[in-house]
Amino acid sequence: MLLTIGTTHRPATELGYLLAKHPDKCQTFSLAYGKAHVFYSEATEERCTAALLLDFDPVGLVRGRRWGQDSEGTLAHYVNDRPYAASSFLSVAIAQAFGSAMKGVSKERQELADTPLPFDVRLSAVPSRGGEQFLRGLFAPLGYEVEAKHITLDEAFPEWGEGNCFELRLRAVVRLADLLTHLYVLIPVLDNQKHYWVGDDEVDKLLEKGGDWLRAHPMREQITLRYLKHQRSLFRDALERLMAGDDPEPEAREVEKEQEEEALEHPISLNDQRLGSVVAVLREAGATRGLDLGCGEGKLVGALLKEQSIMKVVGVDVSMRSLERARDRLKLDRMPEMRRKKVDFFQSSLTYRDSRFADCDAACAIEVIEHVDVSRLGALERVLFEFAKPPTVVVTTPNVEYNVRFETLPAGRLRHRDHRFEWTRQEFQSWCDGIADRHGYHVRFLPIGTEDAEVGAPTQMAVFRR
């Protein structure tokens, strides 16, 4: 990773005083994870360009760590663009090599340090998942002229596309201290991986450095949010190792996927309507013990907890992460004892028989079946209707006919990337009728959301009664 800072201020070599680095020397600094070299590629009256070259030690970074901590368990950690692309390490290097300049202090040229000067900054490789637009959004409000050039992923495989890495050029008339601070704070925002700070208080320091300009920045929320660290559990690491090779960033991906579907359906607040309808159906059925299969973050569990007539609510999900989030969201550990006793969560799967499922009088599978492969629906049917066989079963699933009404959804695409199928009303109803017939249930259907004369409602619900 190479950062160059050039100026056309005259005499340009004054830059050496501002950075406190002699233009005719090549200096090397030790960092926690390697070295940084500072030298000048040019140093004349007209133009002077200082270079900060990161010499990262990828082996040292991971040595001595125990497998199983964080994401070290996956190969992504070793074959990694970190040594070559801008990351939080660059910030660490800037602070170390140009510490006094970043504070705005210059022994020999204080006046110049306080003056905005024309600077031309280049970064050899900057990853930005948000693309060029995101880069601009970060730097343009601070007065930079932004030039971002896509780096081709691999010219041998043009079909792989462009990738997310840019050669970045920033030009502005700005105080050097401000320039360095901007880089120091904003480069890690682009770094999608775990941040490597020297200590935990680094985050606070960083936000402090942002100071006034950060408060005025239109993207300040996104910028600060990126610093929040995620708590990780043993389980999550194990899962991540399993997913390695199939899905590089399962967690990030999943959250992204959920958001996609939510964003799509948000304008009609479909989720609220679904929950409301389930509660209504359960009230009508006189249910007292509810089971939410595929409870996700526990929204329905939370809603059912508020129902006086419900004595017990159990949330079940196959994902331990979802269960963790659900417990957190409902603040289970701070719940009053009486209410706490009413609710329970456990991991299970809809394709395995589970004797614990039998202990309820109403089971709900809200937006769940479409996440199961069609070939596994037979197992799901038998687990739910043959073995658990609660008196009431509520199933909802998207009505694929309605998809044409979502303007942002490309034709033929499903609402969520993990959906294995989405059914028409006819398909869903014939599946449900078959189940009712085979297992001694009566089934009725309800539209959820505003019904369209032609394509029906966005969500379809089946209520099975035995």
Partner 1 sequence: MKIELPELSLVALIGTSGSGKSTFAKTHFKPTEVLSSDYCRGLVSDDENDQGATDDAFDVLHYIAAKRLAAGRLTVIDATNVQAEAREPIVKLAREHDVLPVAIVLNLPEKLCHERNQDREDRQFGPHVTRQQSQQLRKSLRSLKREGFRYIAVLNSPEEVAAADVVRNPLWSNKRHETGPFDIIGDVHGCFDEAVALLRELGYDVQDDEAAPTATHPEGRRAFFVGDLVDRGPKSPAVLRLVMAMVRAGTALCVPGNHDIKLKRKLDGRDVRLTHGLAETMQQLEHESAEFIDEVKVFIDGLVSHYVLDNGNLVVAHAGMKGAFQGRSSTRVREFALYGESTGETDEYGLPVRYNWAADYRGRARVVYGHTPVPNPEWLNKTICIDTGCVFGGALTALRYPENELVSVPAAKMYYEPVKPLDGASTEAADRPYNDVLDIADVQGKRIVSTRIRGSVTVRAENAAAALEIMSRFATDPRWLIYLPPTMSPSDTRKDGPSLEHPEESFQYFRANGVPKVVCQEKHMGSRAVAVVCRNEAAAAKRFGIRGHGIGALYTRTGRPFFGDGALETSFLERLQAALTRADFWKRFESDWFCIDAELMPWSAKAQELLRSQYAPVGAAARASMTAALAALRLAESRSVEMNGLVDRYSARQRCVEQYTQAYRRYCWPVSSIDDLKFAPFHLLASEGRVHADRDHVWHMNTLAELCDGDGGILHKTAFKVVDLTNTGSQSEGVAWWEELTERGGEGMVVKPIEWLMRGKKGLVQPAVKCRGKEYLRIIYGPEYTLDEHIERLRARGLGPKRSLALREFALGLEALHRFVEKEPLYRVHECVFGVLALESEPVDPRL
Site residues for partner 1, window 71-100 (CB under 8 A)?
73-76, 78-81, 83-85
Contact 2, 51 (CB under 8 A): yes
Site residues for partner 1, window 255-284 (CB under 8 A)?
none
DSSP code, position 193: S
Q: Does 392 bind partner 1 (CB under 8 A)?
A: no
* Residue 86 CA from chain centroid, whole number: 20
The residue among 168 and 461 lying less far from partner 1, judged by its C-beta, is: 168
Query: Which of 336, 281, 333, 325 lies closest to 307, judged by CA?
Result: 281
Q: Which CB atom, from 83 or from 143, has the smaller least distance to partner 1?
A: 83
Our CB check for partner 1 shows the closer of 61 and 142 to be 61
CA distance 265 to 259: 10
Rounded Cα distance, 316 and 304, in Å: 14
Residue showing tokens 């034709």: 411
Count residues binding partner 1 (CB under 8 A): 91
What binding mask, one character per residue, do residues 289-328 give for partner 1 by CB under 8 A, x or -?
-----------------------------xxx--------
Give yes or no for residue 30 binding partner 1 (CB under 8 A): no
- What phi, psi does 38 have (nearest 5°)? -120, 130
Closest contact distance (angstroms) between CB of 427 and partner 1 is 17
Peptide bond into 11 cis (omega under 30): yes
Verify binding: residue 386, partner 1, rule CB under 8 A: yes
Instruction: Return the range that interacts with partner 1 (CB under 8 A); candidates 58-66, 96-104, 110-118, 265-273.
Output: 58-66
Q: Please say which residue, 57 or 258, places its beta carbon nearer to partner 1.
A: 57
Residue 317: strand, helix, or coil: strand
Residues 137-176 close enough to bind partner 1 by CB under 8 A: 151-154, 156-157, 159-161, 163-165, 167
Kindly tell me the sign of the dihedral angle through the C-alpha atoms of 384, 386, 391, 395.
Answer: positive
Biggest CA–CA distance in the chain, Å, is 91
Among 222, 351, 424, 429, binds partner 1 (CB under 8 A): 351
d(CA 143, CA 290): 57
- Residue 438 interacts with partner 1 (CB under 8 A): yes or no: yes
Among 169, 257, 329, 376, interactor with partner 1 by CB under 8 A: 376
